[in-house]
Amino acid sequence: MSAPQTLAEAIGCLSDCDPQALPVARVREVIERVVVPVEAVERLAIRSALGRVLAEDLVSPIDVPAHDNAAMDGYAVRAADLAAGAPTVLAIAGTALAGQPYTGSAGPGEAVRVTTGALMPAGFDTVVIQEHVSIEGRRIVVPAGQQPGQNRRRCGEDLARGRPALRAGKRLIPADLGLLASLGFAEVPVRRRLRVAFFSTGDELRTVGEPLAPGEVYDSNRYTIFGMLTRLGVDVIDMGVVRDDPASLERAVRIAAESADAIVSSGGVSVGEADFTRPVMSKLGDIVFWTIAMRPGRPMAFGRIGRASYFGLPGNPVAVMIAFYFFAREALLRQMGARAEPLPYVRARALTAFAKRPGRTEYQRAQLAREADGTMTVRALGSQGSGVLRSMSEANCIVVLHHERGPVAAGDEVDCVAFEGLI
């Protein structure tokens, strides 16, 4: 990992860009260079580690499987006993079950009945599945054509002792819990949880439960941000609504920076409002105000306040979500110590046209579907206004229309980020 850069060094790479239209990819690059992972590590019981980030490579202390064993129900045989091109008759010497090894001393000319997972008896190397043999009293007839070594799982075939089973930076998924258990780990070292403070800004905002006066709106961003942060698996610190005055903002930011690893705010970064937020933020930390070539959500502030990273997201309810998902999410994962893995795109055929202007990245709310013939299609949702949260709620994906792309006609292919995944 390269050493973290100062904000000034990191934003140096934007010097060739139009400051009124910074490309999304470049902005993401800067953010990635600036944020640094939390260092503290704790040991957790494996179930409690679900969703947490592994702090160290975990080396397998055992071979998995620990011994050669049968991959199918059938008969363990010695390949050397099998006649080439003709059936072979073998005497049944005994049985090995999963968890109950065969303890006899079967040898040449004999077979041992085995169930899946049973240890291979010493000297036996091949399993003939039970459907392929005919039984004649205490003997079996093995047809010709068996491959030596077939249906046998080799010791260490899944994981060899001494080899890394899981790498540092992995966010643990259900399969990992099972894998850890299969290696006998009761506890694992994980990075401590990230603490993220968040607040909304705006004199017009009311909190749910309060009556609305004319011109006021309910603060919804604090709820979407809460939801998105919670899904990431961080500890959240809700700092409420901060009024549009420098003293309130300064107080909130100072408290947030003292208690959190990252601060997420919404509103107050648009050109008009930056006039008063910029001086406050600049006094407290190393913050830049950007205008990004994207839609929705052009304005964004980013930087550091003390040890905390700061994401000043736009105020519009959809813009805040897009900026969170496409900028803050990955940065926070990196702060959590997770290896950055770009979100997978689903390629889909557009059923509707998508208006798009080259020179900015557009994120459009849409419905992704799998058609009867198995192909993926995507349909734009009605209002794409950056304040229309309803279409975000109805969407099941975001269509990402990349920087250079022009208008999309029905039938063209586009990249989508699906909201739901398997895990």
CB distance 172 to 50 below 8 Å: yes
Q: Based on the number of CB atoms within 10 Å of its own CB, is 398 exposed (0-12), middle (13-18) or buried (19 or more)?
A: buried
Contacts of 186 (CB under 8 A, 6+ apart): 45, 46
Q: Give the shortest CB-343-to-ligand AMP separation in angstroms.
A: 25
For position 74 contacting Mg ion by CB under 5 A, the verdict is: no
CB of 23 or CB of 267, closer to ligand AMP = 267
Q: How far is the CB of 298 from Mg ion (least distance, A)?
A: 14
Whichever of 66 and 217 has its CB closer to ligand AMP, that residue is: 217
Q: Which of residues 232-271 bind ligand AMP (CB under 6 A)?
A: 266-268, 270
Q: Six-digit token pair at 415?
A: 């990249």
In the complex, the smallest distance separating the C-beta of residue 26 from Mg ion, rounded to whole angstroms, is 26
Quick one: 277 or 335, whose CB is closer to Mg ion?
277
Number of residues near ligand AMP (by CB under 6 A): 18
Instruction: Say if residues 335 and 364 touch (Cβ distance below 8 Å).
Output: no
Q: Which does 384 bind (CB under 5 to 8 A by kind): Mg ion, ligand AMP, none?
A: none
399 phi, psi to nearest 5 deg:
-85, 125
Residue 65: cis peptide before it, omega within 30 degrees of 0: yes
Applying the rule CB under 6 A, the residues between 183 and 202 that interact with ligand AMP are: 200, 202
Taking CB under 5 A as the rule, does residue 267 contact Mg ion? Answer: yes
CA neighbours closer than 13 Å in the CB half-sphere of residue 97? 2
DSSP code at position 23: -
Q: Which stretch binds ligand AMP (CB under 6 A): 45-53, 90-98, 105-113, 219-227?
A: 219-227
Per-residue tokens: 384: 């794409």
* Alpha-carbon span 122 to 229, nearest angstrom: 55
The least CB distance from residue 313 to ligand AMP, in Å, is 9
273 binds ligand AMP (CB under 6 A): yes
Nearer to ligand AMP, 88 or 277 (CB): 277
Tokens of 109: 């000319």
Q: Which residues contact 178 (CB under 8 A, 6 or more apart)?
A: none
305 within 8 A of 253, measured Cβ to Cβ:
yes
Helix (H, G, I), strand (E, B) or coil at 90: strand
Nearest to 16 by CA among 31, 30, 34, 35: 30
Q: How far is the CB of 219 from ligand AMP (least distance, A)?
A: 4
Smallest gap from residue 201 Cβ to Mg ion (A): 6
- Per-residue tokens: 304: 């550091």
219 is a contact residue toward ligand AMP (CB under 6 A): yes
Amino acid identity of residue 202, one-letter, is G
Figure out which of the listed residues 60, 146, 221, 361 binds ligand AMP, where binding follows CB under 6 A: 221
Say whether residue 277 binds ligand AMP (CB under 6 A): no
Q: Which does 191 bind (CB under 5 to 8 A by kind): Mg ion, ligand AMP, none?
A: none
320: which 2 tokens?
A: 């805040």
69 binds ligand AMP (CB under 6 A): no
What is the number of helices (H) and of strands (E) in the chain? 9, 26
- Name the residue with tokens 């080439």: 84
Residue ranges of the alpha helices (H) in 207-360?
221-232, 246-259, 271-284, 317-323, 329-335
- Residue nearest ligand AMP, CB atom distance: 315
Question: 267 or 285: whose CB is closer to Mg ion?
Answer: 267
Of 69 and 277, the one with the shorter C-beta distance to ligand AMP is: 277
Q: Is-contact 52 169, C-beta < 8 A?
A: no
Residues 291-320, interacting with ligand AMP (CB under 6 A): 314-317
312 binds, among ligand AMP, Mg ion, none (CB under 5 to 8 A by kind): none
Q: Residue 202 interacts with Mg ion (CB under 5 A)?
A: yes
* Residues 284 to 323 in contact with Mg ion, rule: CB under 5 A: 315
Contact string (CB under 6 A) for ligand AMP, positions 199-218, x = contact: -x-x-xx-----------x-
> Nearest distance from residue 325's CB to ligand AMP, in Å?
17
CB of 51 to ligand AMP, least distance (A): 27
Q: Are 38 and 196 in contact (CB under 8 A)?
A: no
**Dihedral of CA 280/200/330/39: which sign?**
positive
Residues of the shown chain interacting with Mg ion in the complex, contacts defined by CB under 5 A: 202, 267, 315
Residues of the shown chain interacting with ligand AMP in the complex, contacts defined by CB under 6 A: 200, 202, 204-205, 217, 219-222, 266-268, 270, 273, 314-317
